[in-house]
């Protein structure tokens, strides 16, 4: 049986159309853009077309899009570029304890170099406390960073409301959004949402790995963070794979041409999984919110009395890929920090499984997964001293 | 895949899984907060001192289940004296190795087995409860595994000083600031030492 993949928040399978779109640039169209030279001009035009496709998908102008070598590069360019350029206006940054590691590691880096960071807390569903945000704003606050869709529990932050709070401060606070999980899954309009800087990544929406983009609102200035030759982007200097950018643009077209169909299909799948699990497996906890306030592609569930790495391994051996928040499966042997911030205890975090969907998943796959999962949970619970004790 | 086929076999079809009715001794080590917990139940022939039957239950990851499975296999049919000598390295070897980051799982399984044996011995006046001393702290620190290499922190000479005075245990560990397992090691040391009622306070310097 074909492998069933539910780890699309980490990376997703490139669409066949994406690979097709990339091939010419790996074969005959291998040039870098160059003015006045036939082949180079053609590439220049192609790049402008790709840029426009991405710009249109978030309602920005083409000039506001930087191509980057991935989502993390976009975040680094946005954060480091902004703070280096604007530190004379203030040195206070606000972010939260549940944000994506790109934001948190950058915050820690700037904290070391003298910036002051406020980390907002989260409620039990993964929403930021907006009163806390309002109270945290100071005269020297220059940047607020958030993860639009939480990478662990799929919570969608209320960006429009956040922008309103930032504007009430009476001075300019830049609004940086990591949209790695949100892009292609929930509608984004950088204008109405008042976003100043936003990172997106190609490989999370069935594009190729290694390319992404940074939206930089007109009027927001960034210092270069990577010095070198200007080939494709004036800030992301050096080469960027043009084949990958072609694939990226194609992935965006595919995601946005049928945006409503794609996302409602994915939401149906994730809700179907949750319903089936709730019907078949007792003692579970849904991590993150229910319904529309959650990204359609994410379902995160804790299975009590057992440990997630064992669940993940058994599903893996049954041909199903999922992720877990267990310390046993993490790099630093720590329980997932987002789940802990949401108030889950160690055991609930260890027992969490994250399923993330794409348009290529099917109902049939979910039926098979729930059948296997029911067996796995019951088997592991039968081995657990905690389960016997409790019941 | 980081696990050997043998680990996967024991994980998928563990031997000696379950609870023993009327065991002669039992022990439980670890906790859900640490991410793994093992309970071992033994039945001992009082004449030969041979472990006649042994079972385990596990809350834990694949390697936790696999090591508990293999260790119960290894202990079955052995005398208490022999079973006590089974080391976590032997358990890991019997599984064709474990990833370094998972070595602490075999330590937990071996530790639980030894605790069950000790419980039997104390119950039957074959041994006395361990008297608390600094040496006991050091023995306990031998169960704290540095996940990067899969060896304990005493063997690796990472522990520079162990002190115990008026209820305060002082442990000085040599581990770089940027090491990703720094917090993990401190937490592990606490978890291991907290169970001693004699220790009122644990001071870890790094």
Q: Are residue A182 and residue A305 in the same domain, yes or no? A: no
Q: Are residue B91 and residue B20 in the same domain, yes or no? A: yes
> Do B147 and A307 count as a contact with CB atoms less than 8 A apart?
no
> Has residue A262 got a pLDDT over 60?
yes
Q: Which of B90, B123, B156 is the last residue of a domain?
A: B123
Q: Return the pLDDT at A391.
A: 52
Q: Are residue A233 and residue A328 in the same domain, yes or no? A: no
Tell me what the pLDDT averaged over chain A comes to. Answer: 95
Q: Return the pLDDT at B143.
A: 86
Give a yes or no: residue B189 inside a domain: yes
Q: Which of B66, B98, B123 is the last residue of a domain?
A: B123
Q: Which stretch of DSSP H or E encloses residue B55?
A: strand B51-59
> Has residue A39 got a pLDDT over 70?
yes
Q: Are residue A226 and residue A296 in the same domain, yes or no? A: no
For the stretch A72-110, pLDDT in tens is 999 999 999 999 999 999 999 999 999 999 999 999 999
Instruction: Determine the distance from the C-alpha atom of residue A273 to the mean position of all C-alpha atoms in its chain, rounded to a whole number.
Output: 21
Region A144-153: what's the mean pLDDT? 97
Q: Are residue A198 and residue A272 in the same domain, yes or no? A: no
> Has residue A175 got a pLDDT over 80?
yes
Q: Which of A257, A277, A294 is the last residue of a domain?
A: A257
For the stretch A270-319, pLDDT in tens is 999 999 999 999 999 999 999 999 999 999 999 999 999 999 999 999 99
Q: Are residue B46 and residue B115 in the same domain, yes or no? A: yes
Q: Are residue A252 and residue A214 in the same domain, yes or no? A: yes
Cα distances (Å, whole numbers) of residue A298 to A228, A301, A358: 39, 10, 10
Give a yes or no: residue A11 inside a domain: no
Within 8 A of A306 by CB-CB distance, chain B residues are 59
| Residue A293 dihedral angles phi and psi, to the nearest 5° | -85, 5
Within 8 A of B98 by CB-CB distance, chain A residues are none
Q: Which of B75, B91, B123 is the last residue of a domain?
A: B123
Which of A79 and B164 is assigned the larger pLDDT? A79
Q: Are residue B114 and residue B13 in the same domain, yes or no? A: yes
> Has residue B178 got a pLDDT over 90?
no
Q: Are residue B157 and residue B194 in the same domain, yes or no? A: yes
Region B172-195: what's the mean pLDDT? 87
Q: Are residue A190 and residue A273 in the same domain, yes or no? A: no
Q: Which of A292, A274, A295, A279 is nearest to A353 (CA)?
A: A274
Q: Are residue A189 and residue A284 in the same domain, yes or no? A: no
> Do B34 and A346 count as a contact with CB atoms less than 8 A apart?
yes
Q: Are residue A213 and residue A155 in the same domain, yes or no? A: yes
Q: Are residue B147 and residue B96 in the same domain, yes or no? A: no
Give a yes or no: residue B197 inside a domain: yes
> Has residue B188 got a pLDDT over 90?
no
Region A55-66: what's the mean pLDDT? 98
Region B38-67: what's the mean pLDDT? 95
Nearest chain A residue to B34 by CA: give it.
A346
Q: Are residue B96 and residue B148 in the same domain, yes or no? A: no
Which of B1, B28, B30, B32 would you mutate first to test chain A, the one with the most A CBs within 10 A? B32
Q: Are residue B12 and residue B104 in the same domain, yes or no? A: yes
Nearest chain A residue to B104 by CA: give it.
A328
Q: Are residue B30 and residue B72 in the same domain, yes or no? A: yes
> Has residue B164 got a pLDDT over 60?
yes
Q: Which of A213, A235, A257 is the last residue of a domain?
A: A257
Active-site residue numbers of B?
34, 105
Q: Are residue B89 and residue B180 in the same domain, yes or no? A: no
Q: Are residue B13 and residue B77 in the same domain, yes or no? A: yes
**Domain CATH code at residue A249:** 3.40.640.10
Within 8 A of A305 by CB-CB distance, chain B residues are 59
Which residues are paired to B201 by β-bridges?
Answer: B168
Domain total in chain B: 2
Domain total in chain A: 2
Name which of A90-99, A164-173, A238-247, B33-42 the model is least confident about: B33-42
Give a yes or no: residue B159 inside a domain: yes
Q: Return the pLDDT at A389.
A: 53
Q: Which of A313, A325, A320, A318 is nearest to A354 (CA)?
A: A325
Within 8 A of A311 by CB-CB distance, chain B residues are none
Neighbours of B155 (CB within 10 A): 12
For the stretch A196-249, pLDDT in tens is 999 999 999 999 999 999 999 999 999 999 999 999 999 999 999 999 999 999
Residues of B with CB under 8 A from a CB of A: 3, 8, 11-12, 14, 17, 19, 28, 32-39, 57-62, 64-65, 101-102, 147, 180-181, 183-184
Q: Return the pLDDT at A25.
A: 97
Give a yes or no: residue B128 inside a domain: no
> Do B101 and A333 count as a contact with CB atoms less than 8 A apart?
yes
Give a yes or no: residue A3 inside a domain: no
Q: Are residue B11 and residue B112 in the same domain, yes or no? A: yes
Q: Are residue B142 and residue B94 in the same domain, yes or no? A: no
Region A28-43: what's the mean pLDDT? 87
- Which structural domain, as residue segments, surrounds residue A376? 259-390
Q: Which of A215, A235, A257 is the last residue of a domain?
A: A257
Q: Are residue A174 and residue A118 in the same domain, yes or no? A: yes
- Which structural domain, as residue segments, surrounds residue B114? 5-123
> Do A383 and B65 count as a contact with CB atoms less than 8 A apart?
yes
For the record, the structure tokens of A86 come out as 């604007």
> Has residue A1 got a pLDDT over 80?
no
For the stretch A342-387, pLDDT in tens is 999 988 999 999 999 999 999 999 999 999 999 999 999 999 988 8
**Domain CATH code at residue B152:** 3.30.300.130
Give a yes or no: residue B12 inside a domain: yes
Predicted confidence band at B165 (pLDDT cuts at 50, 70, 90)? Answer: confident
Residues of A with CB under 8 A from a CB of B: 305-307, 309-310, 313-314, 317, 326-329, 331-335, 345-347, 350, 382-386, 388
Region B91-102: what's the mean pLDDT? 91
Neighbours of A7 (CB within 10 A): 17
The minimal CB distance from B181 to the residues A329, A333, A386 is found for: A333
> Has residue A390 got a pLDDT over 80?
no
Within 8 A of B183 by CB-CB distance, chain A residues are 332, 334
Q: Interior CA angle at A57 toward A53 and A61, to 5°?
A: 70
Ranges of H-type helices in chain A: 16-26, 38-57, 71-86, 101-112, 130-136, 159-168, 190-193, 242-257, 259-280, 308-317, 337-341, 346-350, 363-383, 385-390
**Domain CATH code at residue A358:** 3.90.1150.10
Q: Return the pLDDT at A38.
A: 83
């Amino acid at each position: 049986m074909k492998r069933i993949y539910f780890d699309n928040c980490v990376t997703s399978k490139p669409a066949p159309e994406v690979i097709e779109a990339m091939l010419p640039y790996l074969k005959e169209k291998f040039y870098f853009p160059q003015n006045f030279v036939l082949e180079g001009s053609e590439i220049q035009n192609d790049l402008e077309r790709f840029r426009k496709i991405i710009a249109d998908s978030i309602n920005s102008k083409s000039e506001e899009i930087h191509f980057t070598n991935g989502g993390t590069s976009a975040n680094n360019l946005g954060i480091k570029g902004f703070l280096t350029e604007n530190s004379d206006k203030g040195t206070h940054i606000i972010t939260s304890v549940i944000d994506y590691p790109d934001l948190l590691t950058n915050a820690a880096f700037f904290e070391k170099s003298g910036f002051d960071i406020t980390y907002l807390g989260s409620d039990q569903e993964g929403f930021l406390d907006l009163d806390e945000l309002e109270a945290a704003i100071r005269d020297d606050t220059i940047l607020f960073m958030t993860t639009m869709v939480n990478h662990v529990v799929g919570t969608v932050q209320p960006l429009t409301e956040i922008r309103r709070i930032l504007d009430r401060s009476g001075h300019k606070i830049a609004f940086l959004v990591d949209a790695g999980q949100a892009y292609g899954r929930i509608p984004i309009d950088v204008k109405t949402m008042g976003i100043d800087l936003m990172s997106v990544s190609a490989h999370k929406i069935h594009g190729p790995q290694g390319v992404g983009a940074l939206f930089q609102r007109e009027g927001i200035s960034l210092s270069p963070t990577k010095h070198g030759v200007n080939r494709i982007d004036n800030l992301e200097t050096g080469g960027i794979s043009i084949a990958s950018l072609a694939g990226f643009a194609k992935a965006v077209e595919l995601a946005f041409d049928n945006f409503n169909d794609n996302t409602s299909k994915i939401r149906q799948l994730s809700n179907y999984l949750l319903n089936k699990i709730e019907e078949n497996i007792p003692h579970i906890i849904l991590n993150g919110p229910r319904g529309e306030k959650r990204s359609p592609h994410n379902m995160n569930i804790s299975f009590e009395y057992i440990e997630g790495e064992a669940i993940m391994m058994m599903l893996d051996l049954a041909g199903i890929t999922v992720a877990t928040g267990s310390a046993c499966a993490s790099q630093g042997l720590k329980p997932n920090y987002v789940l802990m911030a949401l108030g889950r205890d160690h055991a609930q975090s260890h027992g969490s499984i994250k399923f993330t969907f794409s348009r290529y998943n099917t109902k049939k796959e979910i039926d098979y997964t729930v059948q296997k999962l029911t067996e796995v949970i019951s088997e592991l619970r039968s081995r657990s001293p905690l389960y016997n004790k409790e019941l | 895949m980081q696990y050997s086929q043998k680990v996967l076999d024991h994980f998928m079809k563990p031997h000696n899984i379950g609870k023993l009715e009327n065991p002669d001794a039992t022990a439980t080590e670890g906790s859900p907060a640490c991410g793994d917990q093992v309970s071992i139940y033994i039945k001992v022939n009082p004449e030969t001192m041979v472990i006649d039957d042994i079972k385990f239950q596990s809350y834990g990851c694949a390697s936790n289940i696999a090591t508990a499975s293999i260790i119960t296999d290894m202990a079955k049919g052995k005398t208490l004296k022999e079973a006590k000598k089974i080391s976590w390295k032997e358990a890991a070897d019997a599984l064709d190795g474990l990833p370094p980051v998972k070595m602490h799982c075999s330590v937990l399984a071996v530790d639980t087995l030894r605790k069950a044996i000790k419980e039997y011995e104390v119950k039957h006046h074959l041994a006395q409860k361990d008297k608390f001393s600094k040496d006991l702290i050091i023995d306990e620190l031998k169960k704290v595994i540095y996940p990067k290499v899969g060896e304990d922190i005493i063997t690796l000479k990472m522990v520079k000083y162990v002190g115990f005075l008026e209820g305060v245990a002082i442990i000085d560990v040599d581990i770089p600031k940027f090491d990703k397992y720094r917090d993990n090691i401190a937490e592990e040391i606490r978890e291991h030492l907290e169970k001693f009622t004699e220790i009122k306070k644990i001071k870890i310097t790094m």
